[in-house]
Chain A
Amino acid sequence: MCLSVPAELISISGEDPLSRTGKVSFGGVIKEISLAYVPEARVGNYVLVHVGFAISVIDGEEARFVFDFLRQTAEANSGKELG
Protein backbone atom coordinates (compact mmCIF):
# COMPACT_ATOMS: atom_id res chain seq x y z
CA MET A 1 0.00 0.00 0.00
CA CYS A 2 2.88 2.34 0.69
CA LEU A 3 4.33 1.45 -2.70
CA SER A 4 6.00 4.52 -4.19
CA VAL A 5 7.72 4.55 -7.55
CA PRO A 6 10.50 6.83 -8.87
CA ALA A 7 9.57 8.83 -11.96
CA GLU A 8 11.20 11.63 -13.95
CA LEU A 9 9.49 15.01 -13.80
CA ILE A 10 9.14 16.17 -17.42
CA SER A 11 6.92 19.25 -17.11
CA ILE A 12 5.28 21.47 -14.49
CA SER A 13 2.07 23.48 -14.67
CA GLY A 14 0.37 25.88 -12.29
CA GLU A 15 1.69 28.53 -9.91
CA ASP A 16 -0.32 28.01 -6.72
CA PRO A 17 1.83 25.81 -4.44
CA LEU A 18 -1.08 23.58 -3.40
CA SER A 19 -2.43 22.94 -6.89
CA ARG A 20 0.86 22.75 -8.81
CA THR A 21 0.92 19.60 -10.97
CA GLY A 22 3.50 17.89 -13.11
CA LYS A 23 3.78 15.27 -15.79
CA VAL A 24 6.06 12.40 -14.84
CA SER A 25 7.46 9.53 -16.85
CA PHE A 26 7.61 6.03 -15.37
CA GLY A 27 10.09 4.65 -17.91
CA GLY A 28 7.95 6.05 -20.74
CA VAL A 29 4.49 5.81 -19.17
CA ILE A 30 3.30 9.38 -18.60
CA LYS A 31 1.02 10.44 -15.75
CA GLU A 32 -0.06 13.74 -14.26
CA ILE A 33 0.53 14.05 -10.52
CA SER A 34 0.26 16.64 -7.74
CA LEU A 35 3.44 18.49 -6.76
CA ALA A 36 1.85 20.09 -3.67
CA TYR A 37 4.29 18.35 -1.32
CA VAL A 38 7.49 18.96 -3.29
CA PRO A 39 7.76 22.73 -3.84
CA GLU A 40 11.48 22.29 -4.55
CA ALA A 41 10.91 19.92 -7.51
CA ARG A 42 12.24 21.03 -10.91
CA VAL A 43 11.94 19.56 -14.39
CA GLY A 44 14.50 16.78 -14.77
CA ASN A 45 14.34 15.76 -11.09
CA TYR A 46 13.26 12.27 -10.14
CA VAL A 47 10.41 12.18 -7.65
CA LEU A 48 8.90 9.34 -5.61
CA VAL A 49 5.23 9.00 -6.58
CA HIS A 50 2.51 7.62 -4.30
CA VAL A 51 -1.25 7.62 -5.14
CA GLY A 52 -0.93 10.55 -7.50
CA PHE A 53 1.37 12.68 -5.33
CA ALA A 54 5.11 13.28 -5.40
CA ILE A 55 6.23 12.66 -1.79
CA SER A 56 9.94 13.44 -2.20
CA VAL A 57 12.57 14.56 -4.67
CA ILE A 58 15.19 11.82 -4.95
CA ASP A 59 18.59 13.13 -3.86
CA GLY A 60 21.02 12.08 -6.59
CA GLU A 61 24.07 12.38 -4.32
CA GLU A 62 22.51 10.29 -1.55
CA ALA A 63 21.43 7.69 -4.14
CA ARG A 64 25.03 6.41 -4.11
CA PHE A 65 24.97 5.68 -0.35
CA VAL A 66 23.99 2.01 -0.87
CA PHE A 67 27.02 1.40 -3.11
CA ASP A 68 29.49 3.51 -1.08
CA PHE A 69 28.53 1.84 2.21
CA LEU A 70 29.14 -1.64 0.79
CA ARG A 71 32.50 -0.65 -0.66
CA GLN A 72 33.65 0.96 2.59
CA THR A 73 32.49 -1.96 4.73
CA ALA A 74 34.16 -4.48 2.42
CA GLU A 75 37.40 -2.49 2.46
CA ALA A 76 37.35 -2.22 6.26
CA ASN A 77 36.70 -5.96 6.66
CA SER A 78 39.37 -7.03 4.18
CA GLY A 79 41.80 -4.72 6.02
CA LYS A 80 40.99 -6.52 9.28
CA GLU A 81 41.64 -9.91 7.74
CA LEU A 82 44.98 -8.76 6.37
CA GLY A 83 45.91 -7.21 9.70
Chain B
Amino acid sequence: MLRYIDEYRDPELALGYAREIAAVTTRHWKIMEACGGQTHSIVKYGIDRLLPTGITLVHGPGCPVCVTPISLIDSAIELAARPEVTFCTFGDMLRVPGSRKDLMTVKAEGGDVRVVYSPLDALRLAENLPHREVVFFAVGFETTAPANAMAAYQARRKKIRNFSLLVSQVLVPPALEAVLSSPLHEINGFLAPGHACTISGYEDYEALARKFRVPLVVTGFEPGDILHGLLMCILQLESGRAEVENQYTRSVQREGNREARAMLAEVFEIAPRVWRGLGKIEASGLRLSAAYSELDAEKRFGLSPESAEEKSACISGLILQGIRKPVECPEFGKGCRPERPLGATMVSSEGACSAYYRYRRLEATDELPRT
Protein backbone atom coordinates (compact mmCIF):
# COMPACT_ATOMS: atom_id res chain seq x y z
CA MET B 1 0.00 0.00 0.00
CA LEU B 2 1.34 3.41 -0.97
CA ARG B 3 0.47 5.85 1.75
CA TYR B 4 -1.22 9.10 0.65
CA ILE B 5 -1.86 7.58 -2.79
CA ASP B 6 -3.90 4.39 -2.58
CA GLU B 7 -6.48 5.65 -0.08
CA TYR B 8 -7.48 8.43 -2.48
CA ARG B 9 -8.01 5.88 -5.26
CA ASP B 10 -10.59 3.86 -3.30
CA PRO B 11 -13.57 3.14 -5.61
CA GLU B 12 -16.02 3.51 -2.68
CA LEU B 13 -14.71 7.02 -2.04
CA ALA B 14 -15.14 7.92 -5.71
CA LEU B 15 -18.65 6.46 -5.90
CA GLY B 16 -19.62 8.22 -2.67
CA TYR B 17 -18.58 11.56 -4.15
CA ALA B 18 -20.31 10.78 -7.45
CA ARG B 19 -23.55 10.15 -5.54
CA GLU B 20 -23.27 13.43 -3.62
CA ILE B 21 -22.48 15.38 -6.80
CA ALA B 22 -25.56 13.90 -8.48
CA ALA B 23 -27.64 14.79 -5.41
CA VAL B 24 -26.65 18.49 -5.34
CA THR B 25 -26.53 19.27 -9.07
CA THR B 26 -29.67 21.03 -10.35
CA ARG B 27 -28.30 22.86 -13.42
CA HIS B 28 -25.74 22.58 -16.21
CA TRP B 29 -22.26 23.62 -15.14
CA LYS B 30 -19.04 23.70 -17.14
CA ILE B 31 -15.92 23.26 -15.02
CA MET B 32 -12.33 23.55 -16.24
CA GLU B 33 -9.49 21.65 -14.60
CA ALA B 34 -6.47 23.85 -15.01
CA CYS B 35 -3.70 21.29 -14.85
CA GLY B 36 -2.70 18.63 -17.36
CA GLY B 37 -2.04 16.17 -14.54
CA GLN B 38 -5.69 16.52 -13.49
CA THR B 39 -6.80 16.06 -17.13
CA HIS B 40 -4.79 12.87 -17.28
CA SER B 41 -6.39 11.53 -14.05
CA ILE B 42 -9.90 12.44 -15.23
CA VAL B 43 -9.56 10.63 -18.55
CA LYS B 44 -7.56 7.70 -17.16
CA TYR B 45 -9.99 6.93 -14.34
CA GLY B 46 -13.13 7.92 -16.28
CA ILE B 47 -14.05 10.50 -13.64
CA ASP B 48 -16.11 12.49 -16.16
CA ARG B 49 -18.28 9.40 -16.66
CA LEU B 50 -19.18 9.21 -12.99
CA LEU B 51 -20.78 12.65 -13.20
CA PRO B 52 -24.38 13.60 -13.92
CA THR B 53 -25.08 14.81 -17.48
CA GLY B 54 -25.35 18.39 -16.25
CA ILE B 55 -21.65 18.56 -15.40
CA THR B 56 -19.20 19.06 -18.27
CA LEU B 57 -15.46 19.03 -17.69
CA VAL B 58 -13.23 20.97 -20.05
CA HIS B 59 -9.48 20.80 -20.13
CA GLY B 60 -7.34 23.84 -19.51
CA PRO B 61 -3.97 25.27 -20.52
CA GLY B 62 -2.03 23.73 -17.63
CA CYS B 63 0.61 21.74 -19.45
CA PRO B 64 3.94 23.57 -19.74
CA VAL B 65 5.17 21.16 -22.39
CA CYS B 66 2.13 21.99 -24.52
CA VAL B 67 2.34 25.76 -24.18
CA THR B 68 6.08 26.22 -24.80
CA PRO B 69 6.16 28.26 -28.03
CA ILE B 70 7.43 26.63 -31.17
CA SER B 71 10.10 29.34 -31.58
CA LEU B 72 11.62 28.31 -28.25
CA ILE B 73 11.53 24.63 -29.25
CA ASP B 74 13.42 25.69 -32.40
CA SER B 75 15.98 27.50 -30.19
CA ALA B 76 16.40 24.32 -28.12
CA ILE B 77 16.92 22.29 -31.29
CA GLU B 78 19.46 24.81 -32.61
CA LEU B 79 21.41 24.72 -29.34
CA ALA B 80 21.29 20.94 -29.01
CA ALA B 81 22.76 20.52 -32.49
CA ARG B 82 25.85 22.63 -31.66
CA PRO B 83 28.98 20.53 -31.29
CA GLU B 84 30.12 22.24 -28.06
CA VAL B 85 26.74 21.90 -26.30
CA THR B 86 25.43 19.18 -24.00
CA PHE B 87 21.70 19.83 -23.92
CA CYS B 88 19.77 18.65 -20.83
CA THR B 89 16.02 18.39 -20.71
CA PHE B 90 13.11 16.73 -18.93
CA GLY B 91 12.03 13.68 -20.93
CA ASP B 92 8.67 15.10 -21.97
CA MET B 93 10.31 17.75 -24.18
CA LEU B 94 12.06 15.27 -26.49
CA ARG B 95 9.15 14.64 -28.86
CA VAL B 96 7.72 18.15 -28.98
CA PRO B 97 7.74 19.16 -32.64
CA GLY B 98 9.56 22.33 -33.57
CA SER B 99 8.93 23.84 -36.98
CA ARG B 100 11.20 21.28 -38.68
CA LYS B 101 12.19 18.53 -36.24
CA ASP B 102 12.26 17.57 -32.55
CA LEU B 103 15.02 17.06 -29.95
CA MET B 104 14.84 13.29 -30.35
CA THR B 105 15.81 13.69 -34.00
CA VAL B 106 18.72 15.95 -33.04
CA LYS B 107 19.88 13.21 -30.66
CA ALA B 108 19.55 10.59 -33.40
CA GLU B 109 21.65 12.82 -35.66
CA GLY B 110 24.46 12.85 -33.10
CA GLY B 111 23.56 15.83 -30.90
CA ASP B 112 24.49 15.47 -27.23
CA VAL B 113 20.96 15.52 -25.78
CA ARG B 114 20.47 14.13 -22.28
CA VAL B 115 17.36 13.49 -20.24
CA VAL B 116 17.68 14.52 -16.59
CA TYR B 117 15.40 13.89 -13.62
CA SER B 118 16.29 17.12 -11.82
CA PRO B 119 17.85 20.44 -12.87
CA LEU B 120 20.52 19.75 -10.25
CA ASP B 121 21.55 16.69 -12.31
CA ALA B 122 22.25 19.04 -15.22
CA LEU B 123 24.32 21.27 -12.94
CA ARG B 124 26.34 18.27 -11.73
CA LEU B 125 26.94 17.31 -15.35
CA ALA B 126 28.36 20.81 -15.99
CA GLU B 127 30.74 20.36 -13.05
CA ASN B 128 31.85 16.99 -14.41
CA LEU B 129 32.20 18.17 -18.02
CA PRO B 130 34.12 21.47 -17.67
CA HIS B 131 34.95 21.60 -21.41
CA ARG B 132 31.33 21.32 -22.53
CA GLU B 133 28.66 24.03 -22.54
CA VAL B 134 25.82 22.44 -20.55
CA VAL B 135 22.42 24.00 -21.28
CA PHE B 136 19.34 23.10 -19.26
CA PHE B 137 15.88 23.55 -20.81
CA ALA B 138 14.11 25.18 -17.84
CA VAL B 139 10.49 24.50 -18.70
CA GLY B 140 7.64 24.50 -16.23
CA PHE B 141 4.94 26.12 -14.16
CA GLU B 142 5.20 27.32 -10.56
CA THR B 143 5.74 23.73 -9.38
CA THR B 144 9.02 23.34 -11.28
CA ALA B 145 10.28 26.93 -11.06
CA PRO B 146 11.92 26.61 -7.59
CA ALA B 147 13.96 23.59 -8.72
CA ASN B 148 15.11 25.44 -11.82
CA ALA B 149 15.84 28.53 -9.73
CA MET B 150 18.01 26.47 -7.36
CA ALA B 151 20.13 25.26 -10.28
CA ALA B 152 20.72 28.89 -11.34
CA TYR B 153 21.40 29.96 -7.75
CA GLN B 154 23.97 27.22 -7.15
CA ALA B 155 25.63 27.74 -10.54
CA ARG B 156 26.22 31.39 -9.65
CA ARG B 157 27.32 30.65 -6.11
CA LYS B 158 29.76 27.91 -7.20
CA LYS B 159 30.90 29.95 -10.26
CA ILE B 160 30.10 27.17 -12.71
CA ARG B 161 30.68 29.09 -15.93
CA ASN B 162 29.80 26.40 -18.46
CA PHE B 163 26.17 26.12 -17.32
CA SER B 164 23.20 28.06 -18.68
CA LEU B 165 19.42 27.87 -18.83
CA LEU B 166 17.02 28.16 -21.74
CA VAL B 167 14.08 29.49 -19.76
CA SER B 168 10.43 28.83 -20.57
CA GLN B 169 8.78 29.40 -17.20
CA VAL B 170 5.07 30.17 -17.20
CA LEU B 171 2.51 31.05 -14.53
CA VAL B 172 -1.00 29.61 -14.17
CA PRO B 173 -3.16 32.58 -13.01
CA PRO B 174 -2.41 34.85 -16.04
CA ALA B 175 -3.37 31.94 -18.35
CA LEU B 176 -6.66 31.45 -16.51
CA GLU B 177 -7.25 35.19 -16.78
CA ALA B 178 -6.66 34.96 -20.54
CA VAL B 179 -9.15 32.08 -20.80
CA LEU B 180 -11.72 34.02 -18.76
CA SER B 181 -11.19 37.16 -20.84
CA SER B 182 -12.04 35.36 -24.09
CA PRO B 183 -15.57 36.14 -25.33
CA LEU B 184 -15.87 32.48 -26.39
CA HIS B 185 -15.48 30.97 -22.94
CA GLU B 186 -18.45 29.36 -21.17
CA ILE B 187 -16.68 28.23 -18.01
CA ASN B 188 -18.55 28.44 -14.70
CA GLY B 189 -15.85 27.24 -12.32
CA PHE B 190 -12.30 25.95 -12.01
CA LEU B 191 -10.26 23.27 -10.33
CA ALA B 192 -7.01 25.14 -9.60
CA PRO B 193 -3.74 23.17 -9.73
CA GLY B 194 -2.75 21.76 -6.34
CA HIS B 195 0.97 21.38 -6.98
CA ALA B 196 1.49 24.82 -8.55
CA CYS B 197 -0.42 26.27 -5.58
CA THR B 198 1.76 24.30 -3.15
CA ILE B 199 4.50 26.71 -4.27
CA SER B 200 2.61 29.91 -5.09
CA GLY B 201 -0.26 29.75 -2.62
CA TYR B 202 -3.62 31.00 -3.87
CA GLU B 203 -3.83 34.73 -3.23
CA ASP B 204 -3.60 35.44 -6.99
CA TYR B 205 -6.55 33.10 -7.54
CA GLU B 206 -8.63 35.11 -5.06
CA ALA B 207 -8.21 38.14 -7.32
CA LEU B 208 -9.51 36.06 -10.26
CA ALA B 209 -12.53 34.87 -8.25
CA ARG B 210 -13.40 38.48 -7.40
CA LYS B 211 -12.79 39.92 -10.87
CA PHE B 212 -14.64 37.26 -12.88
CA ARG B 213 -17.12 36.02 -10.26
CA VAL B 214 -16.03 32.38 -10.65
CA PRO B 215 -15.36 29.78 -7.97
CA LEU B 216 -11.90 28.21 -7.99
CA VAL B 217 -11.12 25.16 -5.87
CA VAL B 218 -7.45 24.30 -5.31
CA THR B 219 -7.50 20.56 -5.99
CA GLY B 220 -5.21 17.52 -5.83
CA PHE B 221 -4.63 14.85 -8.43
CA GLU B 222 -5.99 11.52 -7.22
CA PRO B 223 -9.54 10.51 -8.22
CA GLY B 224 -10.87 11.13 -4.69
CA ASP B 225 -9.28 14.60 -4.70
CA ILE B 226 -10.71 15.57 -8.08
CA LEU B 227 -14.24 14.42 -7.20
CA HIS B 228 -13.97 16.22 -3.84
CA GLY B 229 -12.83 19.40 -5.62
CA LEU B 230 -15.70 19.09 -8.09
CA LEU B 231 -18.27 18.72 -5.30
CA MET B 232 -16.87 21.80 -3.53
CA CYS B 233 -17.00 23.76 -6.80
CA ILE B 234 -20.56 22.60 -7.62
CA LEU B 235 -21.76 23.45 -4.10
CA GLN B 236 -20.44 26.99 -4.64
CA LEU B 237 -22.10 27.27 -8.06
CA GLU B 238 -25.42 25.94 -6.78
CA SER B 239 -25.44 28.45 -3.93
CA GLY B 240 -24.22 31.39 -6.03
CA ARG B 241 -20.83 31.75 -4.32
CA ALA B 242 -17.61 32.58 -6.18
CA GLU B 243 -14.68 32.04 -3.82
CA VAL B 244 -11.34 30.31 -3.66
CA GLU B 245 -11.52 27.16 -1.57
CA ASN B 246 -8.76 24.68 -0.82
CA GLN B 247 -9.45 20.97 -1.29
CA TYR B 248 -5.75 20.01 -1.20
CA THR B 249 -5.16 21.09 2.38
CA ARG B 250 -2.68 18.29 3.05
CA SER B 251 -0.17 20.11 0.84
CA VAL B 252 -1.35 23.67 0.08
CA GLN B 253 -1.33 26.71 2.34
CA ARG B 254 -2.76 30.09 1.35
CA GLU B 255 0.67 31.74 1.31
CA GLY B 256 2.35 28.83 -0.51
CA ASN B 257 5.89 27.65 0.20
CA ARG B 258 7.78 30.59 1.72
CA GLU B 259 11.32 29.28 1.08
CA ALA B 260 10.53 28.40 -2.53
CA ARG B 261 8.94 31.79 -3.17
CA ALA B 262 11.98 33.54 -1.70
CA MET B 263 14.25 31.62 -4.10
CA LEU B 264 12.02 32.52 -7.05
CA ALA B 265 12.21 36.20 -6.08
CA GLU B 266 16.02 35.90 -5.85
CA VAL B 267 16.54 34.35 -9.30
CA PHE B 268 13.60 35.29 -11.54
CA GLU B 269 11.51 38.30 -12.46
CA ILE B 270 8.03 38.48 -13.97
CA ALA B 271 8.02 38.78 -17.77
CA PRO B 272 5.66 38.56 -20.73
CA ARG B 273 5.56 35.12 -22.39
CA VAL B 274 4.24 33.69 -25.62
CA TRP B 275 2.03 30.62 -25.05
CA ARG B 276 1.67 28.07 -27.79
CA GLY B 277 -2.00 28.14 -28.73
CA LEU B 278 -2.83 31.25 -26.69
CA GLY B 279 -0.38 33.87 -27.97
CA LYS B 280 1.46 36.53 -25.98
CA ILE B 281 0.21 37.16 -22.44
CA GLU B 282 1.60 40.03 -20.36
CA ALA B 283 3.28 39.15 -17.04
CA SER B 284 2.55 35.46 -17.61
CA GLY B 285 6.00 34.00 -17.07
CA LEU B 286 9.43 34.33 -15.52
CA ARG B 287 12.87 35.24 -16.82
CA LEU B 288 16.25 35.35 -15.13
CA SER B 289 16.74 38.62 -13.26
CA ALA B 290 19.63 40.95 -14.09
CA ALA B 291 21.98 39.38 -11.53
CA TYR B 292 21.54 35.99 -13.21
CA SER B 293 21.45 37.13 -16.85
CA GLU B 294 24.87 35.63 -17.59
CA LEU B 295 23.19 32.22 -17.13
CA ASP B 296 20.64 33.02 -19.86
CA ALA B 297 21.34 30.66 -22.78
CA GLU B 298 19.51 32.92 -25.26
CA LYS B 299 21.94 35.75 -24.44
CA ARG B 300 25.04 33.55 -24.15
CA PHE B 301 24.51 31.96 -27.56
CA GLY B 302 23.00 35.02 -29.28
CA LEU B 303 19.73 33.33 -30.13
CA SER B 304 17.02 35.43 -31.68
CA PRO B 305 14.02 33.18 -31.96
CA GLU B 306 11.98 33.74 -35.09
CA SER B 307 8.27 33.38 -34.84
CA ALA B 308 7.15 30.14 -36.43
CA GLU B 309 3.68 29.26 -37.59
CA GLU B 310 1.69 26.38 -36.14
CA LYS B 311 0.64 23.71 -38.61
CA SER B 312 -2.74 24.90 -39.81
CA ALA B 313 -4.79 21.75 -39.16
CA CYS B 314 -4.05 21.88 -35.41
CA ILE B 315 -6.76 23.29 -33.13
CA SER B 316 -4.74 23.00 -29.92
CA GLY B 317 -5.30 26.69 -29.17
CA LEU B 318 -9.04 26.09 -28.91
CA ILE B 319 -8.48 22.91 -26.90
CA LEU B 320 -6.19 24.69 -24.42
CA GLN B 321 -8.95 27.24 -23.80
CA GLY B 322 -11.59 24.57 -23.27
CA ILE B 323 -13.56 25.69 -26.33
CA ARG B 324 -13.16 22.40 -28.23
CA LYS B 325 -12.58 18.80 -27.15
CA PRO B 326 -9.88 16.59 -28.70
CA VAL B 327 -12.35 14.24 -30.41
CA GLU B 328 -13.92 17.20 -32.18
CA CYS B 329 -10.75 17.65 -34.24
CA PRO B 330 -10.92 16.00 -37.69
CA GLU B 331 -7.21 15.11 -37.48
CA PHE B 332 -7.49 13.41 -34.05
CA GLY B 333 -6.11 9.86 -34.27
CA LYS B 334 -5.72 10.21 -38.04
CA GLY B 335 -3.23 12.84 -39.21
CA CYS B 336 -2.32 13.55 -35.58
CA ARG B 337 -1.07 10.84 -33.22
CA PRO B 338 1.46 10.88 -30.33
CA GLU B 339 4.20 9.41 -32.53
CA ARG B 340 3.55 12.08 -35.19
CA PRO B 341 1.84 14.99 -33.44
CA LEU B 342 0.56 18.02 -35.35
CA GLY B 343 0.53 20.18 -32.27
CA ALA B 344 1.20 20.70 -28.64
CA THR B 345 -1.72 18.94 -26.96
CA MET B 346 -0.91 15.60 -28.61
CA VAL B 347 2.75 15.70 -27.65
CA SER B 348 2.94 15.63 -23.91
CA SER B 349 1.45 12.72 -22.01
CA GLU B 350 -0.45 15.38 -20.04
CA GLY B 351 -1.85 17.08 -23.12
CA ALA B 352 -5.60 16.65 -23.49
CA CYS B 353 -5.34 15.12 -26.98
CA SER B 354 -2.71 12.64 -25.86
CA ALA B 355 -4.79 11.60 -22.84
CA TYR B 356 -7.84 11.01 -25.06
CA TYR B 357 -5.73 9.14 -27.60
CA ARG B 358 -4.28 6.87 -24.93
CA TYR B 359 -7.54 6.00 -23.16
CA ARG B 360 -10.39 6.75 -25.57
CA ARG B 361 -9.24 6.36 -29.18
CA LEU B 362 -11.12 3.12 -29.75
CA GLU B 363 -14.43 4.74 -29.03
CA ALA B 364 -16.45 5.96 -31.99
CA THR B 365 -17.61 8.99 -30.07
CA ASP B 366 -16.74 10.75 -26.84
CA GLU B 367 -20.34 11.14 -25.79
CA LEU B 368 -21.34 7.77 -24.38
CA PRO B 369 -24.45 7.67 -22.28
CA ARG B 370 -23.63 8.51 -18.68
CA THR B 371 -25.29 7.32 -15.55
Residues of chain A having any CB pair with chain B under 8 Å = 1-6, 8, 17-18, 26-27, 34, 36-39, 46, 48, 50-53, 55-56, 58-60, 62-63, 65-67, 69-70, 73-74, 77
The 4 nearest A-B residue pairs measured at CB = A52-B118, A6-B4, A2-B143, A62-B249
Residues of chain A within 8 A of B257, CB atoms compared: 37-38, 55-56
| Interface SS, A side | mixed
Nearest CB of A to B24, in Å? 7
What would be 30 A-B contacts, judged by CB atoms less than 8 Å apart? A1-B139, A1-B348, A2-B36, A2-B37, A2-B140, A2-B143, A3-B195, A4-B195, A6-B3, A8-B3, A18-B150, A18-B153, A26-B2, A37-B257, A37-B263, A50-B144, A51-B144, A51-B147, A52-B118, A52-B119, A52-B147, A55-B251, A59-B250, A62-B249, A65-B228, A65-B247, A69-B232, A73-B20, A74-B19, A77-B23
Residues of chain A within 8 A of B129, CB atoms compared: none
| A48, B13: Cβ atoms closer than 8 Å | no
Known pairs A55-B199, A69-B228; A1 contacts B90 (CB<8 A): yes
| Interface SS, B side | helix
In Å, the complex CA distance between A73 and B37 comes to 27
Nearest CB of A to B246, in Å? 9
Chain B interface residue count: which class? 35 or more
| A2, B24: Cβ atoms closer than 8 Å | no
| A58, B193: Cβ atoms closer than 8 Å | no
Residues of chain B having any CB pair with chain A under 8 Å = 2-5, 7-8, 13, 16-17, 19-20, 23-24, 35-37, 62-65, 90, 92, 117-121, 139-141, 143-144, 146-147, 150, 153, 193, 195-196, 198-199, 221, 224-225, 228, 231-232, 247, 249-252, 257, 259-260, 263, 348, 350
Residues of chain A within 8 A of B37, CB atoms compared: 1-3
Residues of chain B within 8 A of A3, CB atoms compared: 37, 195, 221
| B16, A55: Cβ atoms closer than 8 Å | no
Residues of chain A within 8 A of B193, CB atoms compared: 2
Q: For B36, give its contact among A1, A8, A46 (CB under 8 Å).
A: A1
Nearest CB of B to A54, in Å? 10
Known pairs A1-B139, A58-B251; A34 contacts B120 (CB<8 A): yes
In Å, the complex CA distance between A8 and B1 comes to 13
| A51, B249: Cβ atoms closer than 8 Å | no
